[in-house]
Amino acid sequence: MEISRRDFVKLFGGGTAGAAFLGVMDWDSLIEAALYDIPLRKKVGELTTICPYCAVGCGQIVATENGKVINIEGDPDHPINRGSLCSKGSAAYQIANNERRLNKIWYRAPYSQDWEEKSWDWAIPYIARKIKETRDNNWTEYQGTKLVNRTDAVAQLGGAPLDNEECYLLSKMARALGVVYLEHCARI
């Protein structure tokens, strides 16, 4: 059902009929519709997630309909943010629905001016091979007489949506590769 602000005002003026209608609708949806002239919220699928931007890690509720994200808002049950979001977290909907978002892999070969579309099956082994080559070609075994076994040519940057277990595994992998420039977006 859709309702405009004009409809809402009429509804309030509708006496008994309006009161009966309000009895089956939720107040948030009605007030939102009245203020912003938008359709009333429908029953949709909801999932909880963590804001991808910074290390505060605010909880969000993602509403979906027919496989498409239709709303993202703060999770009032989340112990960190209790439903509030900063301006970046409030705009997270635009990450999911943005015509400028890249959703395919584009690759430009060295010295080429053209971009090619690639698959994940191609990209993941390619990236792994590049990391290995870069590491091996820039390996420092000794600094003076001290054994260091490291590479200064690779850096790893963590992301806020990673949980403890993912951070643990990724930092283990980076250290096993000899990476010493190991950072997190929250410290930059």
CB closer to ligand SF4 out of 81 and 151: 81
What is the distance between the alpha carbons of residues 113 and 64, in angstroms, rounded to a whole number? 39
> To the nearest whole angstrom, how small is the minimum distance from the Cβ of residue 53 to ligand SF4?
3
- Listed in sequence order, the residues at least 6 apart from 164 whose beta carbon sits closer than 8 Å to its beta carbon are none
Answer yes or no whether residue 96 interacts with ligand SF4 by CB under 6 A: no
DSSP state of 98: -
Listed ranges 34-42, 55-63, 102-110, 141-149: which one lies at the site for ligand SF4 (CB under 6 A): 55-63
> To the nearest whole angstrom, how small is the minimum distance from the Cβ of residue 186 to ligand SF4?
9
Answer yes or no whether residue 185 interacts with ligand SF4 by CB under 6 A: no
CB closer to ligand SF4 out of 55 and 180: 55
Question: Phi then psi for 46, rounded to 5 degrees?
Answer: -130, 135
Answer yes or no whether residue 57 interacts with ligand SF4 by CB under 6 A: yes
Q: What is the dihedral of CA 158, 159, 161, 163, to 10 degrees?
A: 10
The distance in angstroms from the start CA to the end CA of the chain is 46
Listed ranges 18-26, 80-88, 139-147, 173-181: which one lies at the site for ligand SF4 (CB under 6 A): 80-88
Residue with tokens 């250290």: 175
What is the distance between the alpha carbons of residues 126 and 76, in angstroms, rounded to a whole number? 42
Per the structure block, which two tokens stand in for 159?
């992301």
> To the nearest whole angstrom, how small is the minimum distance from the Cβ of residue 58 to ligand SF4?
3
CB closer to ligand SF4 out of 34 and 85: 85
Binding site for ligand SF4 (CB under 6 A): 51, 53-54, 56-58, 81, 85-86, 88-89
